[in-house]
Amino acid sequence: MRRYGKHTDEDDIRSRPNRKGNRPRTHIRPKHEDAAEGMVLTVDRGRLTCLVGDRTVMAMKARELGRKAAVVGDRVAIVGDLSGRKDTLARIVRIAERTSVLRRTADDDDPYERVVVANADQLAVVTALADPEPRPRLIDRCLVAAYDGGLSPLLVLTKSDLAPPDKLLELYGDLDIPYVVTSRAELESGEAADRVREHLDGRVTAFVGHSGVGKTTLVNALVPEERRRTTGHVNAVTGRGRHTTTSALALPLSGADGWVIDTPGVRSFGLAHVDPSRVIHAFPDLEPGTEGCPRACSHDEPDCALDAWVAEGNADPARLYSLRRLLATRERPEDD
């Protein structure tokens, strides 16, 4: 587990202007040097379920954190009652700097981004090949969110017993995204879980998908039996029914080292927050070609230097085409 930058939050506090001219509060504020490290597993109405060592501890955010919200996957410093006993409530006093952030906006006009998951290494985009029909635009939007937030994408194509994956795979071929195709028979034999697991070992993977694609079925095959989720079933971690939570939920991977973060089914994935310059980091073969771009280039406009640079033979035109297709998902309405 990563160490915490001890002074991050204290520095914020110190630099805050002392408007009322009274005693600076920093002198009386405890530094919490004895705080334990934990990871946020789920959030429900301001209550955060955290893993501290091998204990599950309920906590709330300390007032000194201000408006900064802790989300699933956050590494936190936690003080107070860490016994994990019923009806105890610890306090989260620091949130460590995040290595990645999966963000979404409720829709494209919504200026407020929500961090859905912190510190995930990978985003598994689960898509059914049929029933429901694949929605490439939604996949593209998830990929943009992954690239923007610093997660590497993984495509999981389910229900190959109902339709072949070829067309969809062709669409993503130039993006070089790792993928797994699964069927009902492979789910039943355990082979589906085994093949997906190979991509998850040693990593924290957030799973997203439209409702009905088989995400729950798959996640259940990847986590210990007592952690499995079913509709209407009470969740072992939160003690609440599945439908009462809108938060993501981190679950330990069984049979390998890693975490599976299940997220609520998405219908849309707002991208108002996306910065094209962060997306292009995921295209290292194209990035050098942006040197001649105008400032704050969207890389999807007439002055973009990438066209000429690619035409000179510096990179594969198919890659630029794929990048543009992804970037364009930010400008079009979501459901088509």
Ligand X SMILES: Nc1nc2c(ncn2[C@@H]2O[C@H](COP(=O)(O)OP(=O)(O)OP(=O)(O)O)[C@@H](O)[C@H]2O)c(=O)[nH]1
Q: What residue numbers does the annotated binding site for GTP cover?
A: 158-161, 209-217
| One of 6, 98, 184, 324 touching ligand X (CB under 6 A) | 184
* CB neighbour list of residue 132: distance below 8 Å, 6 or more residues apart: 210, 211, 212, 213
Q: Which is nearer to ligand X, 77 or 116 (CB)?
A: 116
Residue 211 interacts with which of Zn ion, ligand X, none, CB < 5 to 8 Å by class: ligand X
- Type of residue numbered 228: R
CA distance 133 to 135: 6
Q: Least distance (Å) from ligand X to the CB of residue 51? A: 24
Q: Which is nearer to ligand X, 42 or 100 (CB)?
A: 42
Q: Please count the residues of this chain forming the interface with ligand X, following the rule CB under 6 A.
A: 17
Q: What angle do CA 101, 104, 106 make, to 5 degrees?
A: 155
Cβ-defined contacts of 2-10 (< 8 Å, 24+)? 2/75, 2/96, 2/99, 4/37, 4/75, 4/77, 4/94, 4/96, 5/96, 5/97, 6/33, 8/94, 8/96, 8/97, 9/64, 9/65, 9/93, 9/94, 9/95
Between the CA of residue 185 and those of 7, 162, 241, what are the distances in Å? 52, 11, 29
Q: Please count the residues of this chain forming the interface with Zn ion, following the rule CB under 5 A.
A: 4
Q: Least distance (Å) from ligand X to the CB of residue 260? A: 13
Give the CA diameter of the chain.
Answer: 70
214 contributes a contact to ligand X by CB under 6 A: yes
Question: Which two structure tokens, joined as six digits, stand for 327?
Answer: 């970037």
Neighbours of 275 (CB within 10 A): 10
Residue span binding ligand X (CB under 6 A) among the ranges 4-12, 37-45, 81-89, 206-214? 206-214
The answer to whether residues 253 and 206 touch, using CB atoms and an 8 Å cutoff, is no
Q: Least distance (Å) from ligand X to the CB of residue 176? A: 25
Residue span binding Zn ion (CB under 5 A) among the ranges 129-137, 222-230, 248-256, 293-301? 293-301
299 contributes a contact to Zn ion by CB under 5 A: yes
Give the residue among 74, 125, 78 at the shortest CA–CA distance from 101: 74
Q: Which is nearer to ligand X, 131 or 176 (CB)?
A: 131
Q: Which is nearer to ligand X, 57 or 266 (CB)?
A: 266
| One of 146, 187, 282, 327 touching ligand X (CB under 6 A) | 187
* Residues in 151-180 at the binding interface with ligand X, rule: CB under 6 A: 158-159, 161-162
| One of 213, 221, 237, 293 touching ligand X (CB under 6 A) | 213
Secondary-structure breakdown of the chain: helix, strand, coil percentages, each rounded to the nearest 5: 30, 25, 45
Question: Which two structure tokens, joined as six digits, stand for 308?
Answer: 């000429």
| One of 105, 216, 247, 329 touching ligand X (CB under 6 A) | 216
The answer to whether residues 253 and 259 touch, using CB atoms and an 8 Å cutoff, is yes
Annotated binding site: 158-161, 209-217, 293, 297, 299, 304
| One of 5, 53, 212, 292 touching ligand X (CB under 6 A) | 212
297 contributes a contact to Zn ion by CB under 5 A: yes
Q: Which is nearer to ligand X, 209 or 258 (CB)?
A: 209
Q: Are strands 90-95 and 55-61 parallel, antiparallel or unpaired?
A: parallel
Which residues are at the interface with Zn ion (CB under 5 A)?
293, 297, 299, 304
Residues that bind ligand X (CB under 6 A): 158-159, 161-162, 182-184, 187, 209, 211-217, 265
